[in-house]
Amino acid sequence: VMADWGKCLDFGVSIARQARTVVLDAFEAQKVVSLKTSPADLVTETDQGVENLLISAIKEKYPTHKFIGEESVAAGASPVLTDSPTWIIDPIDGTTNFVHRFPFVAISIAFAVNKQTEFGIVYSCMEDKLYRAQRGKGAFCNDIPLRTSGLEDITKALVVTEIGTERDDLSLSTLTSNIYRLLKIPIHGIRAVGTAAVDMCLVASAGADAYYHVGMHCWDIAASALIVSEAGGVVHDISGGKFDLMSRRVIAASSRTVARGIAQVVEAFPCERDDGLPDLLPLDPKVIGLNLTSRCSTLVQGTYPKLLW
Ligand SMILES: Nc1ncnc2c1ncn2[C@@H]1O[C@H](CO)[C@@H](O)[C@H]1OP(=O)(O)O
Ligand SMILES: [Mg+2]
Ligand SMILES: [Mg+2]
């Protein structure tokens, strides 16, 4: 018998609503900002407060459940996903937006059992849009069913990505050359909203046709990856291979064709996996950085995970 986690999802939605009021109350206020891994990797007391609020509410209701939370990991908790029921939480996705009062911030809550995401909730706080999906049961925004655009022609695509917090030369040159090569396809445009979770929900709701990103963490996209697939989209690794929640790389798209078009031109820079396991995508310095040749040749040589198409 397949367990139905619907009650758990309803509980997740109710605590996301409580958490949003905390985010709204703090949004206009003066914020105490600390740095994490780089001068552009910010955290506030509200990130920590919202994560504590969510985790303590869940612990009270489901004492055996496990957690992977962005700020708990920053405080030293281990981000290893086991088969146990696990809540994967980003208390504020878009902290830089939050600090600057750029009005796109989200609360992202995913729930996985046997390493499979059962449901995902993304609450875009300022827009008051509550996105949710349950595995096999579709995706919704404020109870309206979601469908991706279904676009097949990459030259007509509006593509979303994020600029990230890395400031080293290799990451920055890879990031900018990826944008350069996409624009040269050409595509219609590139956007960055500042929250990976909302970026992915925009793909799910057909506002954008694709999203790709290297460097985000599992809590940024665990919920929205399910929302995209339940809305009829595809979710892959940046190589075009199988999506791996812990790899810190993703392409979400309206169709396989658009995902493949992006996989052919974007390159990854090295990032330590969330679970600390060795990175399976070998990075040849000759194929990253400012080399503008298509990555197809490298894929054919078999140094990247096998393509699904
Ligand atoms: N090291 C990293 N590189 C790129 N993006 C990151 C990142 N860490 C977090 N992000 C996420 O990417 C988006 C901003 O570019 C946000 O969703 C941000 O999440 P956060 O606000 O929860 O930290
Ligand atoms: Mg985040
Ligand atoms: Mg966050």
Instruction: Output the CA 67–ligand 3 centroid distance in Å.
Output: 15
Ligand 1 contact via 95 beta carbon (within 6 Å): yes
Final residue before a domain boundary, out of 114, 145, 176: 145
Q: What is the pLDDT of residues 28-62, one digit of tens each?
A: 998 889 998 888 888 999 999 999 999 999 999 99
Q: Is residue 293 located within the same domain as residue 169?
A: yes
Residue 199 class from Cβ within 10 Å (0-12 exposed, 13-18 middle, 19+ buried)? buried
State the residue range of the domain holding 70.
Answer: 6-145
What pLDDT digit, counting tens, does each position of 82-107 carry?
A: 999 999 999 999 999 999 999 999 99
Question: Would you please indicate which residues are annotated as catalytic (active-site) residues?
Answer: 70, 90, 92-93, 95, 220
Instruction: Give the ligand 1 atom nearest the CA of 194.
Output: 14
Instruction: Evaluate if residue 288 carries a pLDDT over 80.
Output: no
pLDDT tens digit sequence for 226-264? 999 999 999 999 988 899 999 999 999 999 999 999 999
Q: Which residues of 13-29 are buried (b: 16+ CB within 10 A; e: fewer)?
A: eebbeebbebbeebbee
- 216 within ligand 1 shell (Cβ under 6 A): yes
- Please state the atom number of ligand 1 nearest to the C-alpha of residue 98: 21
Task: Band the pLDDT of 217: cuts 50, 70, 90.
Answer: very high
- CA-to-CA distance for 270 and 206, rounded, in angstroms? 30
Closest CA to 305 of 225, 224, 249: 249
CATH of the domain at 228: 3.40.190.80
Residues 10 and 126 in one domain: yes
Q: What percent of the chain has pLDDT over 70?
A: 90
Question: How many Å lie between the centroid of ligand 3 and the Cα of residue 93?
Answer: 4
Is 309 part of a structural domain of the chain?
no
Q: What is the pTM of this model?
A: 0.91
Annotated binding-site positions: 70, 90, 92-93, 220
Which phi and psi angles does 40 have, rounded to 5°?
-110, 5
80: Cβ contacts below 8 Å, ≥ 6 apart: 68, 275, 276
Residue 168, domain member (yes or no): yes
| Rounded CA separation 272/288 (Å) | 16
Tokens of 147: 């469908």
Do the domain assignments include residue 308? Answer: no
**Same domain for 167 and 108:** no
**Shortest CA distance to 130 belongs to which of 119, 138, 122?**
122
With a 6 Å cutoff on the Cβ, whether 12 touches ligand 1 is no
Residue-averaged pLDDT of the chain: 90
pLDDT-derived band at 80 (thresholds 50, 70, 90) equals confident
What ipTM was predicted for this assembly?
0.96
pLDDT for the residue 240: 86
Assigned domain for 69 exists: yes
